[in-house]
Chain A
Amino acid sequence: MTNRTEFRFAGSGGQGLILAGIILADAAVSQENKNAVQTQSYGPEARGGSSKSEVIVSDDTIEYPKATKLDYMIALTQESFSKYIGDLKDDGIVIVDREMVRDYSKAKGKLYVLDMVKTAREELGKLLGLNIIALGALVAISGIVSHESAEKALMSRVPKGFEEYNKKALEIGFRLAKEAKNNK
Protein backbone atom coordinates (compact mmCIF):
# COMPACT_ATOMS: atom_id res chain seq x y z
CA MET A 1 0.00 0.00 0.00
CA THR A 2 2.92 2.31 0.63
CA ASN A 3 3.84 2.90 -2.99
CA ARG A 4 0.27 3.57 -4.01
CA THR A 5 0.07 6.86 -5.91
CA GLU A 6 -3.34 8.41 -6.47
CA PHE A 7 -4.28 10.81 -9.28
CA ARG A 8 -7.50 12.62 -10.03
CA PHE A 9 -8.48 14.52 -13.16
CA ALA A 10 -11.31 16.82 -12.14
CA GLY A 11 -13.50 18.96 -14.37
CA SER A 12 -16.80 18.84 -16.15
CA GLY A 13 -18.36 16.21 -18.39
CA GLY A 14 -17.22 16.50 -22.02
CA GLN A 15 -13.68 17.74 -21.26
CA GLY A 16 -12.24 14.32 -21.99
CA LEU A 17 -10.90 13.68 -18.52
CA ILE A 18 -11.96 10.05 -18.43
CA LEU A 19 -9.93 9.43 -21.57
CA ALA A 20 -6.93 11.26 -20.06
CA GLY A 21 -7.14 8.92 -17.06
CA ILE A 22 -7.39 5.86 -19.29
CA ILE A 23 -4.28 6.90 -21.22
CA LEU A 24 -2.32 7.49 -18.01
CA ALA A 25 -3.33 4.07 -16.65
CA ASP A 26 -2.60 2.45 -20.00
CA ALA A 27 0.89 3.98 -20.07
CA ALA A 28 1.57 2.51 -16.63
CA VAL A 29 0.17 -0.94 -17.44
CA SER A 30 0.93 -1.55 -21.11
CA GLN A 31 4.17 0.40 -21.40
CA GLU A 32 5.77 0.04 -17.97
CA ASN A 33 4.15 -3.14 -16.63
CA LYS A 34 3.05 -1.47 -13.41
CA ASN A 35 -0.29 -2.05 -11.76
CA ALA A 36 -2.87 0.62 -12.40
CA VAL A 37 -6.59 1.01 -11.91
CA GLN A 38 -8.70 3.66 -13.57
CA THR A 39 -12.19 4.54 -12.39
CA GLN A 40 -14.59 7.34 -13.10
CA SER A 41 -17.59 8.96 -11.61
CA TYR A 42 -20.16 10.92 -13.51
CA GLY A 43 -23.83 11.76 -13.44
CA PRO A 44 -26.51 10.80 -15.94
CA GLU A 45 -25.83 13.89 -18.10
CA ALA A 46 -23.49 13.65 -21.13
CA ARG A 47 -22.12 17.20 -20.90
CA GLY A 48 -21.57 19.47 -17.93
CA GLY A 49 -21.85 18.45 -14.30
CA SER A 50 -18.84 17.46 -12.27
CA SER A 51 -16.78 14.65 -13.69
CA LYS A 52 -13.77 12.93 -12.23
CA SER A 53 -11.43 10.31 -13.51
CA GLU A 54 -9.08 8.59 -11.11
CA VAL A 55 -5.95 6.58 -11.60
CA ILE A 56 -4.09 4.60 -8.98
CA VAL A 57 -0.60 3.38 -9.82
CA SER A 58 1.34 0.90 -7.72
CA ASP A 59 3.97 -1.79 -7.92
CA ASP A 60 1.82 -3.86 -5.57
CA THR A 61 -1.69 -5.23 -5.95
CA ILE A 62 -4.28 -2.46 -5.90
CA GLU A 63 -7.18 -3.48 -3.70
CA TYR A 64 -9.55 -0.56 -3.15
CA PRO A 65 -9.89 0.87 -6.66
CA LYS A 66 -10.96 4.43 -5.83
CA ALA A 67 -8.81 7.30 -4.64
CA THR A 68 -9.04 8.24 -1.00
CA LYS A 69 -6.03 10.50 -0.34
CA LEU A 70 -4.85 12.13 -3.53
CA ASP A 71 -1.18 12.59 -4.29
CA TYR A 72 -1.98 14.58 -7.43
CA MET A 73 -5.01 16.44 -8.61
CA ILE A 74 -5.49 18.45 -11.78
CA ALA A 75 -8.57 20.69 -11.90
CA LEU A 76 -10.03 22.21 -15.04
CA THR A 77 -13.09 23.89 -13.53
CA GLN A 78 -13.63 26.05 -10.46
CA GLU A 79 -16.49 23.84 -9.30
CA SER A 80 -14.46 20.64 -9.38
CA PHE A 81 -11.47 22.33 -7.73
CA SER A 82 -13.56 23.52 -4.80
CA LYS A 83 -15.40 20.22 -4.54
CA TYR A 84 -12.37 17.94 -4.51
CA ILE A 85 -9.44 19.91 -3.05
CA GLY A 86 -10.23 18.50 0.39
CA ASP A 87 -9.26 15.02 -0.83
CA LEU A 88 -5.67 16.07 -1.52
CA LYS A 89 -2.95 14.93 0.87
CA ASP A 90 -1.40 17.76 2.85
CA ASP A 91 1.83 17.29 0.94
CA GLY A 92 0.09 16.54 -2.35
CA ILE A 93 0.37 18.44 -5.59
CA VAL A 94 -2.48 20.32 -7.24
CA ILE A 95 -2.41 21.68 -10.78
CA VAL A 96 -5.03 24.18 -11.95
CA ASP A 97 -5.70 26.09 -15.12
CA ARG A 98 -5.20 29.84 -14.70
CA GLU A 99 -8.38 30.80 -16.58
CA MET A 100 -10.71 28.09 -15.39
CA VAL A 101 -9.83 28.19 -11.70
CA ARG A 102 -9.81 31.76 -10.41
CA ASP A 103 -10.04 31.15 -6.71
CA TYR A 104 -7.50 28.71 -5.43
CA SER A 105 -7.14 30.21 -1.99
CA LYS A 106 -8.09 26.84 -0.48
CA ALA A 107 -5.20 25.09 -2.23
CA LYS A 108 -2.90 23.02 -0.08
CA GLY A 109 0.28 21.10 -0.71
CA LYS A 110 2.16 22.33 -3.73
CA LEU A 111 0.24 24.43 -6.26
CA TYR A 112 0.97 24.81 -9.96
CA VAL A 113 -1.02 27.35 -11.97
CA LEU A 114 -0.62 26.58 -15.66
CA ASP A 115 -1.82 28.40 -18.77
CA MET A 116 -3.33 25.32 -20.33
CA VAL A 117 -6.46 26.88 -21.85
CA LYS A 118 -4.57 29.97 -23.08
CA THR A 119 -1.83 27.91 -24.72
CA ALA A 120 -4.37 25.56 -26.30
CA ARG A 121 -6.14 28.54 -27.83
CA GLU A 122 -2.89 30.08 -29.07
CA GLU A 123 -1.03 27.03 -30.30
CA LEU A 124 -3.74 24.50 -31.16
CA GLY A 125 -6.33 27.06 -32.22
CA LYS A 126 -9.06 25.40 -30.17
CA LEU A 127 -9.69 23.81 -26.80
CA LEU A 128 -9.95 20.31 -28.19
CA GLY A 129 -6.95 18.54 -26.69
CA LEU A 130 -7.10 20.33 -23.34
CA ASN A 131 -7.38 16.93 -21.69
CA ILE A 132 -4.16 15.81 -23.38
CA ILE A 133 -2.36 18.98 -22.30
CA ALA A 134 -3.51 18.21 -18.75
CA LEU A 135 -2.26 14.65 -19.14
CA GLY A 136 1.14 15.88 -20.33
CA ALA A 137 1.40 18.30 -17.42
CA LEU A 138 0.48 15.62 -14.89
CA VAL A 139 2.96 13.13 -16.34
CA ALA A 140 5.77 15.69 -16.39
CA ILE A 141 5.14 16.93 -12.86
CA SER A 142 4.60 13.52 -11.27
CA GLY A 143 7.13 11.53 -13.28
CA ILE A 144 4.89 8.49 -12.77
CA VAL A 145 5.56 7.26 -16.29
CA SER A 146 8.13 8.37 -18.85
CA HIS A 147 7.24 10.90 -21.54
CA GLU A 148 7.81 8.19 -24.09
CA SER A 149 5.36 5.78 -22.42
CA ALA A 150 2.72 8.48 -22.23
CA GLU A 151 3.16 9.26 -25.91
CA LYS A 152 2.96 5.60 -26.93
CA ALA A 153 -0.18 5.07 -24.85
CA LEU A 154 -1.69 8.21 -26.36
CA MET A 155 -0.91 7.14 -29.91
CA SER A 156 -2.56 3.76 -29.35
CA ARG A 157 -5.87 5.48 -28.59
CA VAL A 158 -5.90 8.41 -31.02
CA PRO A 159 -8.04 8.16 -34.14
CA LYS A 160 -6.21 8.18 -37.48
CA GLY A 161 -5.42 11.65 -38.74
CA PHE A 162 -5.23 13.21 -35.28
CA GLU A 163 -1.82 11.86 -34.26
CA GLU A 164 0.16 15.08 -34.81
CA TYR A 165 -2.47 17.26 -33.17
CA ASN A 166 -2.48 15.12 -30.05
CA LYS A 167 1.27 14.79 -29.96
CA LYS A 168 1.49 18.57 -30.05
CA ALA A 169 -1.02 18.86 -27.19
CA LEU A 170 0.98 16.39 -25.09
CA GLU A 171 4.20 18.33 -25.78
CA ILE A 172 2.50 21.55 -24.66
CA GLY A 173 1.61 19.85 -21.38
CA PHE A 174 5.20 18.65 -20.89
CA ARG A 175 6.55 22.14 -21.66
CA LEU A 176 4.14 24.04 -19.38
CA ALA A 177 4.99 21.68 -16.53
CA LYS A 178 8.71 22.08 -17.10
CA GLU A 179 8.47 25.87 -17.17
CA ALA A 180 6.39 25.88 -14.00
CA LYS A 181 8.82 23.56 -12.25
CA ASN A 182 11.77 25.75 -13.21
CA ASN A 183 9.98 28.78 -11.80
CA LYS A 184 9.48 27.13 -8.43
Chain B
Amino acid sequence: MTKNIKLMQGNEAVAEGAIIAGCDFFAGYPITPSSEVMEQLSSKLVKLGKVCIQMEDEIAALGAVLGAALGGAKALTASSGPGMSLKAEHIGYASMCEIPCVIVNVMRGGPSTGLPTLPAQGDIMQARWGTHGDHAIIAITPSSVNESLYETIRAFNLAIKYRTPVLILTDEIIGHMREKVVIPNKEDIKEILDVKLPDVPPEKYFPYNYTSGKVTSLAPMGEGYRYHVTGLIHGETGFPSQKTDVIQNAQKWLYDKIYKNIKDIEKFEEFQTEDADILIFAYGSVSRSARQAILMARSAGIKAGLFRPITIWPFPEERVSSLSKKIKKIIVPEMNMGQAVLEVQRNACGSDVYGLNVVNGEPITPDTIYYKIKEVAGA
Protein backbone atom coordinates (compact mmCIF):
# COMPACT_ATOMS: atom_id res chain seq x y z
CA MET B 1 0.00 0.00 0.00
CA THR B 2 1.17 3.52 -0.71
CA LYS B 3 1.74 5.17 2.60
CA ASN B 4 0.55 8.53 1.24
CA ILE B 5 -3.04 7.33 1.14
CA LYS B 6 -4.88 8.26 4.29
CA LEU B 7 -8.40 8.38 5.66
CA MET B 8 -8.80 11.98 6.64
CA GLN B 9 -11.41 14.48 7.80
CA GLY B 10 -12.13 17.61 5.74
CA ASN B 11 -10.98 19.91 8.52
CA GLU B 12 -7.83 17.83 8.93
CA ALA B 13 -7.19 18.12 5.18
CA VAL B 14 -7.39 21.91 5.41
CA ALA B 15 -4.77 21.80 8.18
CA GLU B 16 -2.62 19.43 6.12
CA GLY B 17 -2.93 21.68 3.05
CA ALA B 18 -1.97 24.71 5.13
CA ILE B 19 1.17 22.97 6.34
CA ILE B 20 2.15 21.96 2.81
CA ALA B 21 1.53 25.55 1.68
CA GLY B 22 4.01 26.70 4.32
CA CYS B 23 1.57 28.24 6.79
CA ASP B 24 3.55 29.93 9.57
CA PHE B 25 0.81 31.17 11.81
CA PHE B 26 -2.66 30.18 12.94
CA ALA B 27 -4.83 32.15 15.34
CA GLY B 28 -8.35 31.09 16.14
CA TYR B 29 -11.17 30.74 18.57
CA PRO B 30 -12.59 27.22 18.34
CA ILE B 31 -16.16 26.76 17.13
CA THR B 32 -18.12 23.76 15.87
CA PRO B 33 -17.88 22.52 13.15
CA SER B 34 -14.48 24.06 12.42
CA SER B 35 -12.57 23.24 15.61
CA GLU B 36 -10.59 20.33 14.17
CA VAL B 37 -8.66 22.71 11.91
CA MET B 38 -7.21 24.38 14.99
CA GLU B 39 -6.93 21.11 16.92
CA GLN B 40 -4.75 19.65 14.17
CA LEU B 41 -2.62 22.76 13.74
CA SER B 42 -2.14 23.19 17.49
CA SER B 43 0.10 20.14 17.46
CA LYS B 44 1.37 20.04 13.88
CA LEU B 45 2.34 23.71 13.45
CA VAL B 46 3.98 23.92 16.84
CA LYS B 47 6.06 20.81 16.12
CA LEU B 48 7.39 22.64 13.06
CA GLY B 49 8.46 25.55 15.26
CA LYS B 50 5.60 27.71 14.02
CA VAL B 51 2.81 29.46 15.87
CA CYS B 52 -0.71 28.39 16.79
CA ILE B 53 -2.48 30.65 19.24
CA GLN B 54 -5.94 30.70 20.76
CA MET B 55 -7.17 34.28 21.03
CA GLU B 56 -9.92 35.71 23.23
CA ASP B 57 -12.43 35.86 20.39
CA GLU B 58 -12.79 35.62 16.63
CA ILE B 59 -12.15 39.31 16.00
CA ALA B 60 -8.84 39.12 17.82
CA ALA B 61 -7.99 35.88 16.00
CA LEU B 62 -8.19 37.55 12.60
CA GLY B 63 -6.44 40.60 14.04
CA ALA B 64 -3.53 38.41 15.09
CA VAL B 65 -3.50 36.77 11.66
CA LEU B 66 -3.27 40.18 9.95
CA GLY B 67 -0.46 41.26 12.26
CA ALA B 68 1.42 38.06 11.51
CA ALA B 69 0.86 38.55 7.77
CA LEU B 70 2.22 42.10 7.95
CA GLY B 71 5.29 40.54 9.54
CA GLY B 72 5.66 38.29 6.50
CA ALA B 73 3.93 35.15 7.81
CA LYS B 74 1.59 32.99 5.81
CA ALA B 75 -1.36 33.14 8.14
CA LEU B 76 -4.67 31.33 8.59
CA THR B 77 -7.76 31.38 10.77
CA ALA B 78 -10.82 29.12 10.81
CA SER B 79 -14.33 29.62 12.10
CA SER B 80 -18.03 29.14 11.46
CA GLY B 81 -21.28 31.18 11.38
CA PRO B 82 -21.22 33.33 14.54
CA GLY B 83 -17.44 33.63 14.37
CA MET B 84 -17.61 34.76 10.75
CA SER B 85 -19.99 37.57 11.72
CA LEU B 86 -17.32 38.82 14.13
CA LYS B 87 -14.52 38.44 11.61
CA ALA B 88 -16.37 40.63 9.11
CA GLU B 89 -14.79 43.71 10.69
CA HIS B 90 -11.24 42.56 10.04
CA ILE B 91 -12.00 41.07 6.64
CA GLY B 92 -12.70 44.65 5.58
CA TYR B 93 -9.44 45.79 7.13
CA ALA B 94 -7.57 43.04 5.27
CA SER B 95 -9.25 44.09 2.02
CA MET B 96 -8.51 47.76 2.52
CA CYS B 97 -4.90 47.28 3.64
CA GLU B 98 -4.40 44.49 1.10
CA ILE B 99 -3.04 42.00 3.61
CA PRO B 100 -2.85 38.39 2.39
CA CYS B 101 -4.60 35.87 4.65
CA VAL B 102 -6.72 32.73 4.44
CA ILE B 103 -9.99 32.39 6.34
CA VAL B 104 -11.81 29.06 6.57
CA ASN B 105 -15.57 29.08 7.16
CA VAL B 106 -16.99 25.62 7.83
CA MET B 107 -20.62 26.58 7.24
CA ARG B 108 -23.31 25.54 9.71
CA GLY B 109 -26.98 26.43 9.99
CA GLY B 110 -27.80 30.01 10.98
CA PRO B 111 -28.54 32.83 11.59
CA SER B 112 -27.04 33.36 15.06
CA THR B 113 -26.10 30.18 16.96
CA GLY B 114 -28.34 28.28 14.56
CA LEU B 115 -27.36 24.65 14.14
CA PRO B 116 -23.81 24.05 15.40
CA THR B 117 -23.58 20.40 14.29
CA LEU B 118 -25.57 20.57 11.05
CA PRO B 119 -24.59 21.71 7.56
CA ALA B 120 -25.82 24.70 5.56
CA GLN B 121 -24.66 26.96 2.72
CA GLY B 122 -26.15 30.15 4.12
CA ASP B 123 -22.93 32.19 4.06
CA ILE B 124 -22.39 32.50 0.30
CA MET B 125 -23.56 36.10 0.16
CA GLN B 126 -21.96 36.86 3.54
CA ALA B 127 -18.65 35.78 2.02
CA ARG B 128 -19.18 38.26 -0.80
CA TRP B 129 -20.63 41.18 1.13
CA GLY B 130 -20.15 40.39 4.83
CA THR B 131 -17.93 43.36 5.48
CA HIS B 132 -19.09 46.85 4.63
CA GLY B 133 -17.99 48.97 1.73
CA ASP B 134 -17.05 48.19 -1.84
CA HIS B 135 -14.48 45.46 -2.17
CA ALA B 136 -13.83 42.30 -4.13
CA ILE B 137 -13.16 38.96 -2.50
CA ILE B 138 -11.97 35.50 -3.41
CA ALA B 139 -13.93 32.54 -2.04
CA ILE B 140 -13.43 28.85 -2.75
CA THR B 141 -15.94 26.01 -2.28
CA PRO B 142 -14.27 22.57 -2.15
CA SER B 143 -16.52 19.53 -2.51
CA SER B 144 -14.37 16.77 -1.08
CA VAL B 145 -11.77 16.11 1.58
CA ASN B 146 -9.07 15.70 -1.04
CA GLU B 147 -10.04 18.96 -2.72
CA SER B 148 -10.03 20.73 0.67
CA LEU B 149 -6.33 19.95 0.93
CA TYR B 150 -5.37 21.17 -2.55
CA GLU B 151 -7.65 24.20 -2.50
CA THR B 152 -6.16 25.36 0.79
CA ILE B 153 -2.77 25.45 -0.92
CA ARG B 154 -4.29 27.41 -3.80
CA ALA B 155 -5.96 29.79 -1.34
CA PHE B 156 -2.59 30.71 0.15
CA ASN B 157 -1.18 31.30 -3.32
CA LEU B 158 -4.07 33.54 -4.35
CA ALA B 159 -3.88 35.48 -1.07
CA ILE B 160 -0.22 36.30 -1.66
CA LYS B 161 -0.52 36.88 -5.39
CA TYR B 162 -3.43 39.32 -5.10
CA ARG B 163 -2.79 40.61 -1.57
CA THR B 164 -6.30 39.82 -0.46
CA PRO B 165 -8.19 37.79 2.12
CA VAL B 166 -9.23 34.45 0.60
CA LEU B 167 -12.17 32.55 2.07
CA ILE B 168 -12.50 28.78 1.99
CA LEU B 169 -16.17 27.85 2.35
CA THR B 170 -16.70 24.25 3.31
CA ASP B 171 -19.65 23.00 5.35
CA GLU B 172 -20.30 20.61 8.22
CA ILE B 173 -20.47 17.67 5.80
CA ILE B 174 -17.16 18.33 4.02
CA GLY B 175 -15.49 19.46 7.25
CA HIS B 176 -16.47 16.45 9.33
CA MET B 177 -16.62 13.60 6.83
CA ARG B 178 -13.67 11.30 6.41
CA GLU B 179 -12.58 9.99 3.05
CA LYS B 180 -9.55 8.98 1.09
CA VAL B 181 -6.85 11.57 0.58
CA VAL B 182 -3.68 11.21 -1.41
CA ILE B 183 -1.21 13.34 0.50
CA PRO B 184 1.24 14.93 -1.92
CA ASN B 185 4.89 15.55 -1.32
CA LYS B 186 5.83 19.20 -1.41
CA GLU B 187 7.68 18.54 -4.69
CA ASP B 188 4.47 17.29 -6.31
CA ILE B 189 2.71 20.61 -5.82
CA LYS B 190 2.85 22.70 -8.98
CA GLU B 191 3.04 26.05 -7.29
CA ILE B 192 3.67 27.29 -3.79
CA LEU B 193 4.09 31.05 -3.67
CA ASP B 194 6.20 32.53 -0.93
CA VAL B 195 6.16 35.99 0.57
CA LYS B 196 8.80 37.96 -1.32
CA LEU B 197 10.62 41.18 -0.66
CA PRO B 198 9.71 43.92 -3.16
CA ASP B 199 11.95 44.05 -6.24
CA VAL B 200 12.78 47.71 -5.56
CA PRO B 201 14.89 49.26 -2.79
CA PRO B 202 13.04 50.69 0.26
CA GLU B 203 13.24 54.29 -0.90
CA LYS B 204 11.41 53.41 -4.12
CA TYR B 205 8.81 51.17 -2.49
CA PHE B 206 5.13 52.11 -2.64
CA PRO B 207 2.90 49.32 -1.30
CA TYR B 208 -0.28 50.93 -2.63
CA ASN B 209 0.47 51.56 -6.25
CA TYR B 210 -3.03 51.68 -7.73
CA THR B 211 -2.20 52.68 -11.26
CA SER B 212 0.61 50.34 -12.33
CA GLY B 213 -1.86 47.51 -12.89
CA LYS B 214 0.44 45.14 -11.01
CA VAL B 215 0.05 43.84 -7.49
CA THR B 216 3.10 45.01 -5.55
CA SER B 217 4.30 42.49 -2.98
CA LEU B 218 3.70 43.46 0.63
CA ALA B 219 7.06 44.00 2.29
CA PRO B 220 7.28 42.26 5.67
CA MET B 221 7.64 44.75 8.53
CA GLY B 222 11.16 44.94 9.87
CA GLU B 223 12.93 44.54 6.54
CA GLY B 224 13.61 48.25 6.11
CA TYR B 225 10.59 49.02 3.94
CA ARG B 226 8.65 51.81 5.63
CA TYR B 227 4.96 52.30 5.00
CA HIS B 228 1.80 53.12 6.86
CA VAL B 229 -1.07 50.70 7.48
CA THR B 230 -4.54 52.12 7.98
CA GLY B 231 -8.16 51.26 7.32
CA LEU B 232 -8.69 54.80 6.06
CA ILE B 233 -8.53 55.27 2.30
CA HIS B 234 -4.85 55.81 1.65
CA GLY B 235 -2.42 56.81 -1.06
CA GLU B 236 0.66 55.02 -2.36
CA THR B 237 2.64 55.23 0.91
CA GLY B 238 -0.30 54.06 2.98
CA PHE B 239 -1.03 57.44 4.59
CA PRO B 240 -4.68 58.60 4.56
CA SER B 241 -5.90 60.69 1.70
CA GLN B 242 -9.14 62.42 0.76
CA LYS B 243 -8.06 63.44 -2.70
CA THR B 244 -10.78 62.46 -5.16
CA ASP B 245 -8.42 60.87 -7.65
CA VAL B 246 -6.73 58.80 -4.92
CA ILE B 247 -10.10 57.68 -3.56
CA GLN B 248 -11.36 56.75 -7.01
CA ASN B 249 -8.16 54.86 -7.87
CA ALA B 250 -8.06 53.04 -4.52
CA GLN B 251 -11.67 51.85 -4.70
CA LYS B 252 -11.34 50.83 -8.30
CA TRP B 253 -8.11 48.99 -7.65
CA LEU B 254 -9.68 46.71 -5.04
CA TYR B 255 -12.07 45.55 -7.76
CA ASP B 256 -9.73 45.59 -10.72
CA LYS B 257 -6.95 43.51 -9.20
CA ILE B 258 -9.45 40.66 -8.75
CA TYR B 259 -11.80 41.07 -11.72
CA LYS B 260 -9.13 41.85 -14.31
CA ASN B 261 -7.41 38.62 -13.28
CA ILE B 262 -10.56 36.53 -13.12
CA LYS B 263 -9.21 34.00 -15.63
CA ASP B 264 -6.37 33.21 -13.25
CA ILE B 265 -8.59 33.08 -10.17
CA GLU B 266 -11.67 31.28 -11.43
CA LYS B 267 -11.81 27.52 -11.36
CA PHE B 268 -14.70 25.24 -12.17
CA GLU B 269 -15.53 21.74 -13.24
CA GLU B 270 -18.08 20.52 -15.74
CA PHE B 271 -19.65 17.09 -15.98
CA GLN B 272 -21.65 16.02 -19.03
CA THR B 273 -22.53 19.56 -20.08
CA GLU B 274 -21.70 19.02 -23.78
CA ASP B 275 -25.11 17.69 -24.79
CA ALA B 276 -27.09 18.71 -21.69
CA ASP B 277 -30.64 20.02 -21.88
CA ILE B 278 -30.74 20.74 -18.16
CA LEU B 279 -27.85 22.24 -16.22
CA ILE B 280 -27.36 21.77 -12.50
CA PHE B 281 -25.32 24.56 -10.93
CA ALA B 282 -24.07 23.14 -7.62
CA TYR B 283 -21.13 23.74 -5.34
CA GLY B 284 -19.61 22.19 -2.21
CA SER B 285 -21.18 19.07 -0.74
CA VAL B 286 -24.40 19.54 -2.74
CA SER B 287 -22.50 19.06 -6.01
CA ARG B 288 -21.85 15.44 -4.98
CA SER B 289 -25.59 14.77 -4.78
CA ALA B 290 -26.05 16.64 -8.05
CA ARG B 291 -23.57 14.43 -9.85
CA GLN B 292 -25.34 11.30 -8.62
CA ALA B 293 -28.72 12.78 -9.63
CA ILE B 294 -27.35 13.50 -13.10
CA LEU B 295 -26.37 9.86 -13.54
CA MET B 296 -29.88 8.85 -12.44
CA ALA B 297 -31.41 11.31 -14.92
CA ARG B 298 -29.17 10.10 -17.74
CA SER B 299 -30.26 6.50 -17.18
CA ALA B 300 -33.85 7.74 -17.36
CA GLY B 301 -33.10 9.40 -20.70
CA ILE B 302 -32.87 12.99 -19.45
CA LYS B 303 -29.74 14.81 -20.56
CA ALA B 304 -28.55 16.65 -17.47
CA GLY B 305 -25.10 18.09 -16.77
CA LEU B 306 -23.22 19.72 -13.92
CA PHE B 307 -21.46 23.04 -13.60
CA ARG B 308 -19.51 23.15 -10.35
CA PRO B 309 -17.75 26.38 -9.37
CA ILE B 310 -14.65 25.72 -7.27
CA THR B 311 -13.99 29.45 -7.05
CA ILE B 312 -17.43 30.87 -6.26
CA TRP B 313 -16.22 34.49 -5.84
CA PRO B 314 -15.43 36.12 -8.17
CA PHE B 315 -18.44 34.50 -9.80
CA PRO B 316 -17.76 32.58 -13.04
CA GLU B 317 -19.94 34.99 -15.00
CA GLU B 318 -18.62 34.37 -18.48
CA ARG B 319 -18.94 30.58 -18.41
CA VAL B 320 -22.40 30.58 -16.84
CA SER B 321 -23.49 33.07 -19.45
CA SER B 322 -22.11 31.02 -22.35
CA LEU B 323 -23.59 27.76 -21.03
CA SER B 324 -26.97 29.45 -20.71
CA LYS B 325 -26.92 30.25 -24.42
CA LYS B 326 -27.31 26.55 -25.24
CA ILE B 327 -28.85 25.13 -22.06
CA LYS B 328 -32.21 26.70 -21.42
CA LYS B 329 -33.10 25.14 -18.07
CA ILE B 330 -30.86 25.58 -15.04
CA ILE B 331 -31.45 24.17 -11.55
CA VAL B 332 -29.56 25.59 -8.58
CA PRO B 333 -29.80 23.31 -5.52
CA GLU B 334 -28.50 25.00 -2.38
CA MET B 335 -28.69 24.44 1.37
CA ASN B 336 -30.04 27.98 1.77
CA MET B 337 -33.08 29.99 0.69
CA GLY B 338 -31.48 30.91 -2.64
CA GLN B 339 -28.17 32.80 -2.77
CA ALA B 340 -25.93 31.68 -5.65
CA VAL B 341 -29.11 31.29 -7.69
CA LEU B 342 -29.33 35.10 -7.83
CA GLU B 343 -25.96 35.29 -9.59
CA VAL B 344 -26.95 32.48 -11.94
CA GLN B 345 -30.15 34.33 -12.86
CA ARG B 346 -28.19 37.52 -13.45
CA ASN B 347 -25.76 35.83 -15.81
CA ALA B 348 -28.05 33.34 -17.52
CA CYS B 349 -30.44 35.73 -19.19
CA GLY B 350 -32.97 33.98 -21.35
CA SER B 351 -32.79 30.66 -19.49
CA ASP B 352 -35.29 29.41 -16.94
CA VAL B 353 -33.50 29.23 -13.61
CA TYR B 354 -35.04 27.12 -10.85
CA GLY B 355 -33.92 27.22 -7.22
CA LEU B 356 -34.05 24.06 -5.11
CA ASN B 357 -33.72 25.03 -1.50
CA VAL B 358 -33.41 22.62 1.41
CA VAL B 359 -32.89 24.29 4.78
CA ASN B 360 -33.77 21.55 7.27
CA GLY B 361 -30.28 20.71 8.54
CA GLU B 362 -30.04 17.65 6.29
CA PRO B 363 -27.94 17.42 3.15
CA ILE B 364 -29.81 17.57 -0.17
CA THR B 365 -30.17 14.00 -1.37
CA PRO B 366 -29.58 12.82 -4.94
CA ASP B 367 -33.25 11.76 -5.04
CA THR B 368 -34.43 15.29 -4.23
CA ILE B 369 -32.37 16.72 -7.08
CA TYR B 370 -33.42 13.93 -9.44
CA TYR B 371 -37.13 14.63 -8.80
CA LYS B 372 -36.52 18.29 -9.52
CA ILE B 373 -34.76 17.39 -12.77
CA LYS B 374 -37.74 15.25 -13.79
CA GLU B 375 -40.17 18.03 -12.88
CA VAL B 376 -38.18 20.63 -14.83
CA ALA B 377 -37.73 18.26 -17.81
CA GLY B 378 -41.50 17.91 -18.03
CA ALA B 379 -42.15 21.63 -17.63
A interface with B by C-beta (< 8 Å): 1, 22, 25-26, 29-31, 33, 35-44, 62-66, 68
The residue in chain A whose Cβ has the minimal distance to the Cβ of B290 is: A63
Partner among B1, B178, B366 whose Cβ is within 8 Å of the Cβ of A64: B366
Partner among A35, A41, A66 whose Cβ is within 8 Å of the Cβ of B180: A35
Asked if B377 is at the interface (CB within 8 A of a chain A CB), the reply is no
Asked if B131 is at the interface (CB within 8 A of a chain A CB), the reply is no
Asked if B6 is at the interface (CB within 8 A of a chain A CB), the reply is yes
Bound complex: CA of A42 vs CA of B1, how far in Å?
Answer: 33
Partner among B7, B116, B177, B367 whose Cβ is within 8 Å of the Cβ of A65: B177
Q: How many residues of B contact A (CB 8 A)?
A: 23
Contact mask for chain B residues 95-123; partner A; CB cutoff 8 A; 1 contact, 0 none: 00000000000000000000011000000
Partner among B7, B285, B288, B291 whose Cβ is within 8 Å of the Cβ of A26: B7
Contact A65 B179 (CB under 8 A): yes
Residues of B contacting A22 in the complex (Cβ-Cβ under 8 angstroms): 7, 178
Contact B365 A37 (CB under 8 A): no
Contact B117 A42 (CB under 8 A): yes
Bound complex: CA of A26 vs CA of B365, how far in Å?
Answer: 25
Residues of B contacting A30 in the complex (Cβ-Cβ under 8 angstroms): 1, 5-7
Residues of A contacting B117 in the complex (Cβ-Cβ under 8 angstroms): 41-44
Partner among A29, A38, A62, A68 whose Cβ is within 8 Å of the Cβ of B365: A68
Contact A33 B1 (CB under 8 A): yes
Contact B285 A65 (CB under 8 A): yes
Contact B6 A63 (CB under 8 A): no
Partner among A33, A38, A43, A44 whose Cβ is within 8 Å of the Cβ of B177: A38
With contacts A30-B6, A68-B365 taken as known, whether A40 is within 8 angstroms of B1 at the C-beta atoms is no
Contact A31 B178 (CB under 8 A): no
**Selected A-B contacts with CB under 8 Å, 9 pairs:** A29-B179, A30-B1, A37-B179, A38-B177, A43-B117, A64-B292, A65-B288, A68-B365, A68-B367
Min CB distance, B300 to chain A, in Å?
A: 14
Partner among B7, B295, B366, B367 whose Cβ is within 8 Å of the Cβ of A36: B7
Contact A39 B177 (CB under 8 A): yes
Bound complex: CA of A39 vs CA of B177, how far in Å?
Answer: 5
Residues of B contacting A35 in the complex (Cβ-Cβ under 8 angstroms): 179-180
Bound complex: CA of A29 vs CA of B180, how far in Å?
Answer: 6
Contact B7 A64 (CB under 8 A): no
Q: Which of A37, A42, A64 has the most CB of B within 10 A?
A: A64
Residues of B contacting A25 in the complex (Cβ-Cβ under 8 angstroms): 7, 178-179
Asked if B87 is at the interface (CB within 8 A of a chain A CB), the reply is no
Bound complex: CA of A35 vs CA of B180, how far in Å?
Answer: 7
With contacts A37-B178, A44-B116 taken as known, whether A64 is within 8 angstroms of B5 at the C-beta atoms is no
Bound complex: CA of A56 vs CA of B285, how far in Å?
Answer: 16
Residues of B contacting A33 in the complex (Cβ-Cβ under 8 angstroms): 1-2, 5
Q: Which of B155-190 contact A (CB under 8 A)?
A: 173, 176-180
Residues of A contacting B116 in the complex (Cβ-Cβ under 8 angstroms): 44
Residues of B contacting A38 in the complex (Cβ-Cβ under 8 angstroms): 7, 177-179
Partner among A40, A43, A63 whose Cβ is within 8 Å of the Cβ of B176: A40
The residue in chain B whose Cβ has the minimal distance to the Cβ of A39 is: B177
Residues of B contacting A1 in the complex (Cβ-Cβ under 8 angstroms): 292, 295
Min CB distance, B118 to chain A, in Å?
A: 8
Q: Which of A22, A29, A31 has the most CB of B within 10 A?
A: A29
